[in-house]
Amino acid sequence: MIIVGPKPEDVTGHSAEMYRADLDRTGAVQPYTEAMAVNPEAHAAYEALVQAIISSIGLRVYELATLGAARAIGSPHCLRAHSQKILDARIMDEAQLDAALRDYRAAGLSESDVSVIEFAEQLSTAPGSMTDADSERLRDAGFTDRQIVDIALAAGVRNHFSRTLLALAVPIDI
């Protein structure tokens, strides 16, 4: 990785919080954290956006949208990190997650869950082809307009973060 983040002894503020969270969770500062610590204000804004999205759709729907986007993009960083989050939050067990990573339509997920993943996948691969019918499928699955917007935002922020890590050639977590 050509991007060099701040040294642990030099971080303050949000960057220090980012490093401390990694050290507490994994015992090491992760490469994506080091890269994002170069602009801690942008990372803090990203985290605030994620929290605003989760407040509407909940962690389960957010993680399903993330899964759909990360699968579509082929982001090993986000697939790894969010697979662990899905397991930790007991959104799926390991067998169902493995099945969903292979073929979410055959993983025993609800129709609502599948609609979220499909929407996020399409947003991530062919956003220009999306029409009102795509949002209507989410509405038919029981989502409100606010939730539909937030599902789109969830997939969009995953695209942003995943593609940023890929563009910077950030190594996968250690």
Domain parsing of the chain, residue ranges: 60-167
Q: What is the pLDDT of residues 117-143, one digit of tens each?
A: 999 999 999 999 999 999 999 999 999
Instruction: Give pTM, 2 decimals.
Output: 0.91
Options 3.40.50.300, 3.40.50.2300, 1.20.1290.10, 1.10.1740.10; CATH for 60-167 is 1.20.1290.10
Q: How far is CA 84 from CA 4, 19, 25, 45, in A?
A: 26, 19, 12, 23
Q: What is the pLDDT of residues 16-58, one digit of tens each?
A: 999 999 999 889 999 999 999 999 999 999 999 999 999 999 9
From 127, 164, 136, 141, select the one nearest 57 (Cα to Cα).
141
Q: How confident is the model at residue 77 (pLDDT cuts 50, 70, 90)?
A: confident
From 46, 27, 33, select the one nearest 172 (Cα to Cα).
33
